[in-house]
């Protein structure tokens, strides 16, 4: 995808997110129990699902790199890890803002919140490994292992509200607990958030491509002895 086309897609995704925000505040009805603060739900849950999707890309990229040492897969995993961490941060912050008026506290150490925080720490560690380790095959392999093992926490986060008793509400979308207007608003917000996350991954991928090209350009070229030239004796 060319830069101009990527910019156009990015602009469309931002406009779609703005449209989702308009639906949240204009079309979706006010919750009878929680009031307007419940409107955080739409982006809160959408950001969580977008994070799952981004970390799935990290998982796939890590597996493909360990199997074929594909630089494209490694680059995609790097880009997706940053976007996934961003979406997890949005999810956590919005959840805290929602929790304060409902639970009376920004944070409680229940299973859903704790496992989500662990997920954030795992992929923050993934990015830290990429920065601390020397660029190259070793860093890519080590990061791939972290990304693959770390994905185990994704189903733990998702099913935590059904596996354990928590303060966090259980699944409401799959249980048809939303009125039609709320469900339509949530699905539209989810599609817009996923599209926005995909665009961010695409932008980060292009940046990683440029960084890789610069890195390879600065690497010294190997010295190949010409015919008849004696090789250096160690």
Q: Rounded to an integer, what distance in angstroms lies between the CA atom of residue 71 and that of residue 21?
A: 37
Question: What distance separates the 2 farthest-apart alpha carbons in the chain?
Answer: 87
CB atoms within 10 A of CB 91: 23
Q: Rounded to an integer, what distance in angstroms lies between the CA atom of residue 41 and that of residue 52?
A: 17
User: Distance between terminal CA atoms of the chain?
Assistant: 49
pLDDT for 134 equals 76
pLDDT for 174 equals 60
pLDDT in tens, the chain (234 residues): 677 787 888 899 999 999 999 999 999 999 888 889 999 999 999 999 999 999 999 999 999 999 999 999 999 999 999 999 999 999 999 999 999 998 888 988 889 999 999 999 999 999 999 888 877 888 899 999 999 999 999 999 999 888 888 777 777 666 667 888 999 999 999 999 999 999 999 999 999 888 878 766 665 555 555 555 555 444
Q: Is the dihedral of CA 106, 109, 115, 117 positive or negative?
A: positive
Q: What are phi and psi of 31, to 5 degrees?
A: -65, 135
């Amino acid at each position: 995808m060319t830069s101009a086309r990527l910019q156009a897609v990015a602009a469309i995704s931002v406009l779609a997110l703005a449209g989702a925000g308009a639906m949240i505040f204009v079309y979706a009805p006010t919750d009878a129990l929680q009031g307007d603060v419940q409107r955080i739900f739409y982006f809160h849950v959408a950001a969580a699902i977008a994070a799952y999707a981004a970390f799935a890309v990290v998982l796939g990229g890590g597996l493909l790199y360990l199997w074929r040492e594909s630089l494209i897969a490694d680059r995609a995993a790097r880009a997706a890890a940053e976007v996934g961490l961003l979406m997890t941060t949005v999810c956590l912050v919005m959840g805290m803002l929602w929790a304060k008026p409902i639970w009376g506290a920004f944070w409680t150490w229940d299973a859903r919140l704790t496992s989500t925080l662990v997920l954030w720490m795992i992929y923050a560690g993934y990015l830290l490994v990429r920065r601390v380790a020397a660029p190259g095959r070793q860093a890519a392999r080590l990061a791939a292992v972290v990304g693959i093992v770390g994905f185990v926490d994704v189903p733990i986060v998702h099913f935590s509200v059904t596996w354990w008793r928590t303060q966090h509400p259980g699944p409401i979308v799959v249980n048809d607990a939303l009125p039609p207007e709320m469900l339509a608003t949530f699905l539209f917000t989810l599609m817009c958030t996923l599209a926005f996350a995909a665009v961010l991954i695409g932008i980060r991928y292009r940046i990683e491509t440029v960084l890789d090209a610069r890195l390879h350009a600065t690497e010294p070229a190997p010295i190949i002895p010409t015919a008849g030239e004696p090789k250096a004796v160690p």
